[in-house]
Structure 1
Amino acid sequence: MVLHGDFHIHTNFCPHGSKDDMESYVVTAINKGMKSISFTEHAPLPKAFQDPTPEKDSAMKWEDIDAYFDEANRLKRLYENKLQINVGFEVDYIVGFEGETMEFLNKYGPIIEDAILSVHMLQAPNGEYACVDFSADEFERIIKLFGSVEQVYACYYDTVKQAVQSDLGTCKPMRIGHLTLIEKFSKLYPSKKDFREKIMELLGLIKKKNLQLDINTAGLYKEYCGLTYPNPGIMQQAKEMSIPMVIGSDSHTSKHIGRGFELLPDHMEFVAPDNIRN
């Protein structure tokens, strides 16, 4: 198993993350022997979109973008002989806000080196938006909003499908984030329905679109999950389909860089992101 680095990292610009500064992430990565990392902070949500989380803390603030780039560029210069530092975003795909998302990508896509396209927000049958990545209590509320766990899962995978197929312009992220994030609370709220068919359909579309797959170890440490996003079985399917897989810790604190990488199957092959421009 070849590990090129950690390509899904958050920073102190994330409202729901730690206060560890970006340099502490860089130092930790160097101390762990990594050759490259990607800062993929949660891109600001579309200005017309109301953050549905109780804490309103899903993404970085619009006014922090310049400071984020300034600090990343300072660290690039300071550590250029020790670590390749890529700066970019984890961009939310939100149904109904594709236009605003494309505008953001058209503006910032040309100046970033990496990006992930992820689904955290779902639109319920009543039109309300909800974040499936917040808390167990909030997930329970979402189940009631949709009518069943199975309906939540179905909506999630349908939304990921829309993300994969979406036309977000020439700067659309090449990597799909945490494919099975919806399983974050699966031990507490298990689905009675098997969604492998939908997942296989998604893998086929990801392959067709020449996209990469985020292999996200954060789920290993979630109380009600205990699995990577996606799990090893799905990784094996992706490998057999020759879908490039990019490893990421989804760390929100510097000590978690590279967390769980040693637990991944030895026979898996991971690559560096396609987004990176040298």
Structure 2
Amino acid sequence: MRFNGDFHIHTNYCPHGSTDSMETYVYQAIEKGLDAISFTEHAPLPPSFTDPAPNKDSAMQLKDVDKYILEGHKLKQAYKDKLKINIGFEVDYIKGYESETRQFLNQYGEQIDDAILSVHMLHTPNDGFVCLDYSVEAFSDIITLFSTVDAVYQAYYQTIKSSILADLGPYKPTRIGHINLVEKFSLQFPASHRHEEELIHLLHLIKQKNYSLDANTAGLYKPYYQQMYPSSKIMEVANQLEIPLVPGSDSHTASAVTKGFDQYPSSIMLSNPSNIT
């Protein structure tokens, strides 16, 4: 199976990624025969929000956004005959910070080509926030805050629901990122059940909104998960609902572009982002 593009790629502007230049990612994409890529760097967190990750390295800095976009547009022009390069963001949905997120999107929406809406930050019962996917040790602490693994799952899926329904303005991303990221540490901390009912409910909401879904291979390489985000079963349900599944490696190093793409189930139909031709 040949893949047209990798539409979830990070860059050296990500503080928890590698120092590989954006151009190095472009080289890899061309070498692998892709027609298109999307740079979807972690958008800066809202100015009034304090990053709860231990190293406070969840997202790019606001001061780097213009430089990131400029560098991306230079690469678009330089390689336009070899590769379609899309510049965009992976935007965090953080409950209670919708207004600041909308302001950011309104400011930069016209300058980008593609975007993903993801949940990494969970509001906790003690009125704080945690970074959901930081480490297995940190996830253990999150379970303690919520009392049970299943309570963490329920809070996560409720936040995903809020992200789908949120009014983030005309530039709101319409692709939902790694919809079951909460399962990243499930081999170490299994829930009492698979929570598929919640996921299928979210798929129906995504269908109603005419949104698409990130078909993310990064989970295959997480030691406590070892599956795609979402699972093959949930991808099949998405296909049945005719929800576009957009391939993405979620790469944070150039060598990881298209990593795991050979493991997409043959029964799954993949799509380009709807705004990309």
**TM-score of the superposition, structure 1-length normalised?**
0.98
Aligned 8 A contact 1:5 1:36 in 2 = yes
Match of 2:110 in 1: 110
What is the CA distance between 1:5 and its match in structure 2? 0.3
Name stretches of at least 5 consecutive residues in structure 1 with no aligned partner: none
* Identity between Structure 1 and Structure 2 (%): 54
Deviations 1:103-147 (A, max 9, x none): 111111111000000000000111110011100011011111111
* Aligned residue in 1 for 2:242: 242
Matched ranges for 1:204-223 at <5 A: 204-223=204-223
AA paired with 1:119?
V
Q: Counterpart of 2:275 in structure 1: which amino acid?
A: N
For residue 172 of structure 2, what is the aligned residue in structure 1?
172
What pairs with 1:1-150 in structure 2 (closer than 5 Å)? 1=1, 3-150=3-150
Letter in 1 for 2:257: I
Checking the alignment, whether the CA contact within 8 Å between 1:2 and 1:269 is kept in structure 2 is no
Supply the AA of the counterpart residue of 1:154: Q
Shift of 1:275: 3.3
Q: State the alpha-carbon separation in 2 of the partners of residues 164 and 3 from structure 1.
A: 27
TM-superposition CA deviations, 1:198-235 (whole Å, max 9, x none):
11100000000000000000000000000000000000
Q: Could you list the structure 1 runs, at least 4 aligned residues long, displaced by more than 2 angstroms after superposition.
A: none
Match of 1:60, SS state, is: coil
Match of 1:197 in 2: 197
Aligned-residue CA RMSD (Å): 0.9
The 3-state SS of whatever aligns with 1:115 is strand
Structure 1 contact 40–116 (Cα < 8 Å) conserved? yes
Q: Which deviates the most, 30-39 or 125-134?
A: 125-134
Q: Counterpart of 1:6 in 2: which secondary structure?
A: strand
Residues paired across the two proteins, number = 277
Q: Is the 8 A contact 1:173 1:275 kept in 2?
A: no
Q: Greater relative contact order (Cα 8 A, min sep 6): structure 1 or 2?
A: 1
The aligned amino acid for 1:240 is: Q
Name the SS of the counterpart of 1:87 in structure 2. strand
Cα offsets for 1:49-68 (capped at 9, x unmatched):
00000000000000101110
In the alignment, the residues of structure 2 paired with residue 87 and residue 30 of structure 1 have an alpha-carbon distance, to the nearest angstrom, of 16
Contact 1:217 1:259 in 2 (8 A): yes
Distance (whole Å) between structure 2 residues aligned to residue 60 and residue 262 of structure 1: 30
Letter in 2 for 1:110: E
Q: Helix, strand or coil for the counterpart of 2:13? A: coil
Secondary structure, in 3 states, of the residue corresponding to 2:213?
strand
CA distance in 1 between counterparts of 2:44 and 2:82 reads 30
SS of match in other structure, 1:229: coil
Aligned letter for 1:170?
Answer: P
Q: How does 1:151-166 map to 2 (within 5 A)?
A: 151-166=151-166
What residue ranges of structure 2 are gaps of 5+ in the alignment? none
Task: Tell me what 1:252 maps to.
Answer: 252
Residue aligned with 2:258, SS: coil
